[in-house]
Chains A and B, each alone.
Chain A
């Protein structure tokens, strides 16, 4: 079934809406290939297509949902019946409803590279083997590779509703990745490297291998640092996950339901003037980009923090309606198995004008955090408590010095926003929903020995 076929299917289901009932159908189909390499051999090769449908019914102010991992006609009809039945148990909510077309035109972006569909399996295998080989060969201290491989996904989705929504999207993405293990004879350290692109021709295997080697070997000899307070330099990959945590507090749903530290603070300054945060899924450079959101409205550029001031929140059609504003095209779905929530897809800070090296030189002393663990076990976007395990390098006399491990850095998100001292110039789009950039945060607690 082509892309047009998916759209026809959801339009047909939306057409089954009874009088006084609103029906939305969302279908997704993706083709996924994964090759894993280990010690010069192919460890596994998977190739599979996944498809399914999620149907939302709103009747008399109540919502029901059902999904099925099949587009078989009889199963689709059963799924609609199940969603209808589920709707009878909801609490009546005057704001319940589907998205209504708002006239915003989708961005003219093409995220589909046909080259990927024709990329032969042998070539995928070769990339997976090469990233593993290149990493092993890069440095005598590399003792092995925990995971190395090639992945790609071509996905198509379509959504249509009885309210007149009609949208389809498609995109491709591929990547090579490697987790290297380095040893100095007494200690093992690990480091991650990857390259991501919309088409295989743009993948940089050498960079992935070199990054993994650099990041694992530079931690060799790492020790537990002394406890203290210092300036922290977050590496771009870490900043990207920090932004993801922060964005959860900028969701209109969190605000409406009293789970956001930014509720009632629109227009107020909550952070340093260096902080301008935007979610822009219309930017084709972002891997979370798309022409339409999860409810079929056009995506758009949303300014969230403007020079440290809360400029706006993200909304889907429900939270927009209930807040007395409108959807910002920020409905996100985790596939066909769930209803649209509210979320960011392409977060980015406005970059500054200094490289990471220049920032280390400018601030002189502190801690460069290469990776964090426990971002979701020790931190909360509701309370703002922030505590993560870290690996990285101390910064002394303006440059990276001895490596450290088995320590934590902590603060609160509220304080960290005010303590942001600089944003780097090294902006890069990462796999997932945010761009990475070096972020300098003053006065954090380092807990070690």
Chain B
């Protein structure tokens, strides 16, 4: 992307007026997408984004500048701007020797999406539309999106590190609308993975579409969700978002460092039910949040956050780790070269337990069975969080009964973690986009079927 010698000189320029650390992050991203809606291929879209972000750290201050001009002149100008922003003083020229430390590639990409004919991508859309509509006449509208992206990055810093990665991601999303006497309801399904076009060897787009359509149809018969507190059983995969919100964000070292997390000062303490072991794993298979190196050049790792209920560690980016004299945990990520990195999750999941999932339901006399979640939000300083149920059912006398309408569940992270009283022996994951401070990055979440003994359900039923 750029020569090591150029990177070396640009880093030297960045630190010319002083500073403790400089880094150059180069990114070249190509995306392609195709959108089908209302019975027709609306359009194909392609994009190209290329540039570099340069940061200079001086004490506790970070200066940052970015440019889409990858010539040495352009990079040097950005380096000077970043250096000036960090308010460098004396300094002097620093010689930087770069050592290559490329990460092991994630499971090899077999079919680069850019080599696949556009017609083959478009064909998937039509297949999905047909499949969704075949679920019944009540399916009144279908929208289908295909997306792929290739992101090549290079990171070089004044510690002498230089590393590269080549990340390919593929995603397919279907939203169906069903119309009945009670109005309209929507159903969604959207698998994604860090792979190329071979994702479609494993993912049957017709089945994805039927799942979305069946979800919308089921919700037509939904009754209003209850109010008050109830036991909530989360089906495998669906509840990963719960942990992402209930404690994932609160275990990010930048928020902990600002005293904006209820988990500050809790390492070694029991913060969850002993049934809970929580891991954040950037190396996990071909999941949506997987990569070889993070956006600061550090290798992705498998980090245990909570072990049998005890808090073992937070997640770290390079800057926070450096301040504490420890290593980064490989969680420094950014949306693009136009953004500063910060601590982010990758694939965050709870390990499977011993309980039979069906038995968990049978032993719940009255509660909610949640099959799909639509995202959530947390206030890490108070620990209060919500997540939305987009497909859920009542559990009555230990059996799954009527579907209930979309609603948020609300709880307090530390309390909900302690209230997990059954963990199943199954497992699944969920792909999504995590937003923090205006930056979105691909993440996944996973868990076995499990039960929270009490959560507040945000419905309307009396």
Q: Can you spell out 15 A-B residue pairs with CB atoms less than 8 angstroms apart?
A: A41-B60, A46-B340, A68-B47, A85-B118, A87-B44, A89-B118, A89-B119, A90-B40, A337-B47, A339-B45, A374-B375, A374-B408, A389-B410, A408-B458, A410-B408
Q: Contact partner of B376 among A43, A63, A374, CB < 8 A?
A: A374
Closest chain-B Cβ to A207's Cβ sits at a distance in Å of 22
Closest chain-A Cβ to B107's Cβ sits at a distance in Å of 29
Contact A146 B406, beta carbon cutoff 8 Å: no
Q: When each residue 150-172 of chain B gets 1 if its CB lies under 8 Å from chain A and 0 otherwise, what string results?
A: 00000000000000000000000
Q: How far is the CA of A89 from the CA of B179 in the complex (A)?
A: 30
Closest chain-A Cβ to B297's Cβ sits at a distance in Å of 19
Of the listed stretches A12-20, A167-175, A257-265, A325-333, name the one at the interface; the rest are far from the partner chain. A257-265
Q: Contact partner of B118 among A86, A257, A411, CB < 8 A?
A: A86
Closest chain-B Cβ to A203's Cβ sits at a distance in Å of 20
- Answer whether residue B38 sits at the interface, using C-beta atoms and an 8 A cutoff: yes
Contact A258 B457, beta carbon cutoff 8 Å: no
Closest chain-B Cβ to A262's Cβ sits at a distance in Å of 11
Contact B386 A377, beta carbon cutoff 8 Å: yes
Q: Contact partner of B338 among A50, A78, A89, A384, CB < 8 A?
A: A50
Closest 5 CB pairs of A and B: A377-B388, A408-B458, A378-B408, A91-B40, A374-B386
- Answer whether residue A427 sits at the interface, using C-beta atoms and an 8 A cutoff: no
Contact A449 B122, beta carbon cutoff 8 Å: no
Kindly list 19 other residue pairs between chains A and B, CB separation below 8 angstroms, not including A90-B43, A259-B177, A374-B388.
A42-B61, A48-B338, A64-B45, A69-B47, A70-B68, A121-B85, A146-B255, A189-B382, A190-B381, A257-B37, A373-B408, A378-B374, A378-B386, A408-B410, A445-B459, A447-B456, A447-B459, A448-B456, A449-B228
Within 8 A of A (CB), among B32-53: 34, 37-51
Closest chain-B Cβ to A185's Cβ sits at a distance in Å of 14
Contact B40 A447, beta carbon cutoff 8 Å: no
Closest chain-B Cβ to A51's Cβ sits at a distance in Å of 7
Q: How far is the CA of A91 from the CA of B40 in the complex (A)?
A: 6
Of the listed stretches B183-191, B279-287, B321-329, name the one at the interface; the rest are far from the partner chain. B183-191
Closest chain-B Cβ to A125's Cβ sits at a distance in Å of 9
Residues of chain A lying within 8 A (CB to CB) of residue B462: 229, 445
Contact residues on A (Cβ < 8 Å of other chain), bracket: 35 or more
Q: Contact partner of B43 among A41, A65, A121, A388, CB < 8 A?
A: A65
- Answer whether residue B63 sits at the interface, using C-beta atoms and an 8 A cutoff: yes
Contact A67 B43, beta carbon cutoff 8 Å: no
- Answer whether residue B400 sits at the interface, using C-beta atoms and an 8 A cutoff: no
Residues of chain B lying within 8 A (CB to CB) of residue A113: none
Residue of A nearest to B373 (CB): A377
Closest chain-A Cβ to B431's Cβ sits at a distance in Å of 16
Residues of chain A lying within 8 A (CB to CB) of residue B37: 257
Contact A445 B338, beta carbon cutoff 8 Å: no
Residue of A nearest to B140 (CB): A258
Residues of chain B lying within 8 A (CB to CB) of residue A385: 405-407
Residues of chain B lying within 8 A (CB to CB) of residue A46: 63-66, 85, 340
- Answer whether residue A199 sits at the interface, using C-beta atoms and an 8 A cutoff: no
Contact B118 A383, beta carbon cutoff 8 Å: no
Q: How far is the CA of A429 from the CA of B63 in the complex (A)?
A: 32
Instruction: Give B residues with C-beta under 8 Å from A.
Output: 34, 37-51, 59-68, 81, 85-87, 118-119, 122, 140-141, 143, 177, 179, 183-186, 219, 225, 227-229, 255, 258-260, 262, 338, 340, 373-379, 381-382, 384-389, 405-408, 410-412, 437, 456-460, 462
Q: How far is the CA of A227 from the CA of B228 in the complex (A)?
A: 6
Closest chain-B Cβ to A118's Cβ sits at a distance in Å of 17
Residues of chain B lying within 8 A (CB to CB) of residue A78: 48
Contact A389 B384, beta carbon cutoff 8 Å: yes
Within 8 A of B (CB), among A222-253: 224, 227, 229
With A47-B65, A69-B68 in contact, do A447 and B457 touch (Cβ < 8 Å)? yes
Closest chain-B Cβ to A228's Cβ sits at a distance in Å of 9
Q: How far is the CA of A44 from the CA of B254 in the complex (A)?
A: 13
Q: When each residue 21-53 of chain A gets 1 if its CB lies under 8 Å from chain B and 0 otherwise, what string results?
A: 000000000000000001001111111111110
Q: How far is the CA of A43 from the CA of B55 in the complex (A)?
A: 12
Contact A67 B61, beta carbon cutoff 8 Å: no
Contact A376 B375, beta carbon cutoff 8 Å: yes
Q: Contact partner of A82 among B46, B66, B177, CB < 8 A?
A: B46
Contact A67 B47, beta carbon cutoff 8 Å: yes
- Answer whether residue A157 sits at the interface, using C-beta atoms and an 8 A cutoff: no
Closest chain-B Cβ to A223's Cβ sits at a distance in Å of 11
Q: Contact partner of B258 among A69, A144, A379, CB < 8 A?
A: A144
Contact A445 B460, beta carbon cutoff 8 Å: yes
- Answer whether residue A147 sits at the interface, using C-beta atoms and an 8 A cutoff: yes
Contact A89 B456, beta carbon cutoff 8 Å: no
Contact B459 A63, beta carbon cutoff 8 Å: no
Closest chain-B Cβ to A13's Cβ sits at a distance in Å of 16
Residues of chain B lying within 8 A (CB to CB) of residue A158: none
Max chain A Cβ within 10 angstroms of own Cβ: one of B39, B143, B385, B458 = B458
- Answer whether residue A272 sits at the interface, using C-beta atoms and an 8 A cutoff: no
Q: How far is the CA of A31 from the CA of B292 in the complex (A)?
A: 33
Contact B62 A44, beta carbon cutoff 8 Å: yes
Residues of chain B lying within 8 A (CB to CB) of residue A89: 34, 41, 44, 118-119, 122
- Answer whether residue A79 sits at the interface, using C-beta atoms and an 8 A cutoff: yes
Q: How far is the CA of A9 from the CA of B48 in the complex (A)?
A: 19
Contact B45 A181, beta carbon cutoff 8 Å: no
- Answer whether residue A66 sits at the interface, using C-beta atoms and an 8 A cutoff: yes
Closest chain-B Cβ to A307's Cβ sits at a distance in Å of 24
Q: How far is the CA of A35 from the CA of B278 in the complex (A)?
A: 35
- Answer whether residue A198 sits at the interface, using C-beta atoms and an 8 A cutoff: no
Q: Contact partner of A408 among B46, B407, B437, CB < 8 A?
A: B407
Residues of chain B lying within 8 A (CB to CB) of residue A387: 225, 388, 406-408, 458-460
- Answer whether residue A273 sits at the interface, using C-beta atoms and an 8 A cutoff: no
- Answer whether residue A143 sits at the interface, using C-beta atoms and an 8 A cutoff: yes
Contact A79 B48, beta carbon cutoff 8 Å: yes
Closest chain-B Cβ to A387's Cβ sits at a distance in Å of 4
Residues of chain B lying within 8 A (CB to CB) of residue A63: 42-43
Contact B61 A383, beta carbon cutoff 8 Å: no
Contact A86 B46, beta carbon cutoff 8 Å: yes
Contact A91 B41, beta carbon cutoff 8 Å: yes
With A89-B119, A405-B382, A410-B407 in contact, do A261 and B184 touch (Cβ < 8 Å)? yes
Residues of chain B lying within 8 A (CB to CB) of residue A258: 140-141, 177, 179, 184
Closest chain-A Cβ to B87's Cβ sits at a distance in Å of 8
Residue of A nearest to B241 (CB): A377
Residues of chain A lying within 8 A (CB to CB) of residue B65: 46-48
Q: How far is the CA of A122 from the CA of B40 in the complex (A)?
A: 53
Q: How far is the CA of A187 from the CA of B379 in the complex (A)?
A: 13
Contact A383 B64, beta carbon cutoff 8 Å: no
Q: Contact partner of B45 among A38, A86, A407, CB < 8 A?
A: A86
- Answer whether residue A109 sits at the interface, using C-beta atoms and an 8 A cutoff: no
- Answer whether residue A283 sits at the interface, using C-beta atoms and an 8 A cutoff: no
Q: How far is the CA of A153 from the CA of B183 in the complex (A)?
A: 42
With A86-B43, A257-B37, A410-B458 in contact, do A45 and B86 touch (Cβ < 8 Å)? yes
Residue of B nearest to A182 (CB): B381
Q: How far is the CA of A66 from the CA of B51 in the complex (A)?
A: 18
Contact B43 A69, beta carbon cutoff 8 Å: no
Within 8 A of B (CB), among A332-388: 337-339, 373-374, 376-380, 382-385, 387-388
Residue of A nearest to B45 (CB): A65
Residues of chain A lying within 8 A (CB to CB) of residue B81: 47
Closest chain-B Cβ to A263's Cβ sits at a distance in Å of 9
Q: How far is the CA of A448 from the CA of B226 in the complex (A)?
A: 11
- Answer whether residue A108 sits at the interface, using C-beta atoms and an 8 A cutoff: no
Residues of chain B lying within 8 A (CB to CB) of residue A75: 48
- Answer whether residue A117 sits at the interface, using C-beta atoms and an 8 A cutoff: no
Contact B381 A181, beta carbon cutoff 8 Å: yes
Contact B141 A389, beta carbon cutoff 8 Å: no
